[in-house]
Amino acid sequence: MNMMLQPKPPPPPDPIVGMGATMQVGSDQYAVTIIGVTPSGKTIKLQHDRVRLTKESRRGLSKDRGAHQQHLFTSDPNGEVVTARL
């Protein structure tokens, strides 16, 4: 299929303080909360969230193991804070 005929994906939402996000470092992903946004919206402060495994299937190890897990994400006021540019 011609890629030019496919609809464009919607743009990402503007960052808002309190919004959850995913920070990607290499192939790792981390749950974070946006705790600050500059007036231009180009620089944000992120704070790492707490993550707790709540359910895991007993299907054994497989490439799609993550598809059989459920997690609970909560804000962590003591989590590491990082700054990112968009």
Domains of the chain, by residue range, sit at: 15-56+63-85
Model confidence, pTM? 0.74
Q: How many CB atoms lie within 10 A of CB 23?
A: 14
Q: What are phi and psi of 39, to 5 degrees?
A: -55, -35
Instruction: Look at residue 82 in the predicted model and tell me its pLDDT.
Output: 97
Residue 17 CB contacts under 8 Å (≥ 6 apart), including other chains: 34, 35, 36, 37
Instruction: Look at residue 22 in the predicted model and tell me its pLDDT.
Output: 93
Q: What are phi and psi of 67, to 5 degrees?
A: -70, -15
Instruction: Look at residue 11 in the predicted model and tell me its pLDDT.
Output: 87
Q: Mind listing the pLDDT tens digit for each residue in 22-64?
A: 999 999 999 999 999 999 999 999 999 999 988 766 555 555 5
In 38-80, the DSSP E strands lie at 43-48, 50-56, 69-74
Q: Which value, in Å, is the radius of gyration of the alpha carbons in the chain?
A: 17
